[in-house]
A and B are shown apart, each in its own frame.
Chain A
Amino acid sequence: MAIAVHCRYAEDVNPAFPAEIMARPGGEDLQNCIQCGTCSGGCPLSVYMDYTPRRVIALTRAGLEQDVLRSVTPWLCSSCYECQLLCPRGLKVTDIMYALKARSIEKGLYPKKLPIPVLAREFYGMVARYGRSAETRLVLKLMLRTNPLGLLKMAPQGYRLWRAGRMPLGQDRIRQTEQLRKVLDAVEES
């Protein structure tokens, strides 16, 4: 008989992990969580998550970095801030989700099969380069990388948008792309 329970052992723990997350903006109150679950109850997306927000916070505090950074939960968070508003202990739960997303990108542990991180990275690259995001091009890039056949299904909707004048095909850009690049590079170097 196979044991289905996923056991975790001392060697799965990264004791430095909670402090890493607490050092990021919004993470400082992590240890104040009382595990009441109000965040999970208020979250409109918790039913689709592998770990509810409450469990993500518990796992983060326990240092179970791999479980947390490979989880789909931070990526499914749509940043609606309901949990952050409701939390009786004042945790910035949504900001903690951002910290976990960014950390999972840095460590290359984000869930590879999920289209959401692909969209985030395409968006990030486009904005850093042109200073503006172009919805049409972004969706095209996302679909080509994650679900090329899905483009066929989207064609009628694209046509309607284009006819309504709501789907510009070009890449909008700012004039001072060089200035923006300097700003972003300087953050990296400082």
Chain B
Amino acid sequence: MAAYAYFPGCSLSGLGRPYDESVKAVFARLGLGLEEVPDWNCCGATSYMSINEEKAVALASRNLAIAEAMDRDVVAPCAACYLVLTKAQHVLAEYPRIAERVCHSLREAGLAYRGTVTVRHPLDILANDVGVEALRAQVTSPLEGYRVAPYYGCQVVRPYGLFDDMFAPRTLERVLGAVGAQVVDYPVKTRCCGGSLMGTEEEVGLRLNFLLLREARQRGANVLATLCPLCQFNLESYQGRMRRTFGEDVTLPIAYFTQLVGLALGLSPTSLGLQRNFVVAAPLPVPA
């Protein structure tokens, strides 16, 4: 049985709880083990790097050092965690001066990092470790009637493109297609949702997310699949405010891609945390 180290990140016990639940349920159903990185700390996200780049790398490196002892690939579902952990590794490899300082500070705290960890996204695991055909073979309730807009957002694909093309990624389409969903063409699929700007500059965040939702609806989608807890929250939770601000209804269920895959694998909506989503998949047929 394949086994992975699991880095849930802070969001997955809060806003992103359904993501945590659905990743665990899908991995369990596929016979993939997940063991949480012990005493992991916050990845630092964008905010930490905005204040002090070297401390941000050190913060992420404590996690890499702890995970290295587990000797298996680290799965990070949150787009920010995935990027920050990966970026820390790039900075350590490209800037020997920073690497020296960070390794020194880890040693001061009784830790060490040799640089052998591989950070992976669950989408990468489903498409490339499990494989699209093997996934298809496990489907018990194909997602008939689901017209999904595949939304990658920014930080899973950029700037390193570890498992897909950075300009025109296709992995999400392949996975959703394998579980029987119809995937609509969605050219803005890697356009940023604005991240935390929804909380700090709402006018800006509303506009960015409104454009993403309107495009998905115009393309005929009846659900949008996300890979990131912040994208999910921004796109889902402000739909009423967008309608009042822009005078156009953009109601659309926003699901984690793992929730959709889980439904197709015959898992119950509750085990996938679907009852915690705000815009329930009411227009969606429950898979037979």
A interface with B by C-beta (< 8 Å): 24-25, 44-45, 48, 75-76, 78-82, 84-85, 92, 94, 98-99, 101-102, 105, 114-117, 119-121, 123-124, 127, 131-136, 139, 142, 157, 160-161, 164-168, 172, 174-176, 179-180, 182-188, 190
Residue of B at shortest CB range from A94? B159
Residues of A within 8 A of B218 (CB): none
Q: Please state if B199 and A85 are interface contacts (CB–CB under 8 Å).
A: no
Interface-side segment among B52-60, B137-145, B177-185:
B52-60
If A116-B200, A135-B11, A139-B199 touch, does A187 touch B42 (CB 8 Å cutoff)?
A: no
Closest to B80 in A: A79
- Interface class of chain B by DSSP: helix
Asked whether B106 lies within 8 Å of A183 as measured between CB atoms, the reply is yes
Can you report 27 A-B residue pairs in the complex whose CB atoms are below 8 A from each other? A44-B194, A44-B208, A45-B204, A48-B204, A76-B204, A78-B192, A78-B195, A80-B154, A84-B159, A85-B159, A85-B166, A99-B53, A115-B199, A123-B47, A123-B48, A127-B44, A135-B10, A135-B11, A135-B15, A157-B237, A160-B278, A164-B277, A165-B17, A168-B14, A180-B41, A180-B62, A190-B105
Q: Are A164 and B51 interface neighbours, CB within 8 A?
A: no
The answer to whether B15 and A85 touch across the interface, beta carbons within 8 angstroms, is no
A80-B155, A142-B199 given; A183·B51 CB < 8 A: no
6 nearest interchain CB pairs?
Answer: A186-B105, A80-B192, A80-B154, A81-B158, A123-B47, A182-B109
How many A-B pairs fall under 8 Å by CB? 188
A134–B204 Cα gap in the complex (Å)? 24
Which residue on B lies nearest to A97, using beta carbons? B50
Are A84 and B201 touching (Cβ within 8 A)? no
CB distance from B77 to the nearest CB of A (A): 15
Q: Is the CB of A184 within 8 A of B196?
A: no
Give the contacts of B8-26 with A (CB-CB under 8 A): 10-11, 13-18
Q: With A165-B17, A187-B101 in contact, do A78 and B197 touch (Cβ < 8 Å)?
A: yes
A-chain residues with CB within 8 Å of residue B91 when the two chains form the complex:
25
A99 to B51, CA, bound (A): 9
CB of B285 within 8 Å of the partner chain: no
Please indicate the chain B residues that have their CB under 8 angstroms from the CB of A167 in the complex.
Answer: 14-15
Residue on A with the closest CB to B54? A187
Cβ distance B49 to chain A, nearest Cβ, rounded Å: 5
- Residue of B159, B166, B208, B276 touching A166 (CB-CB under 8 A): B276
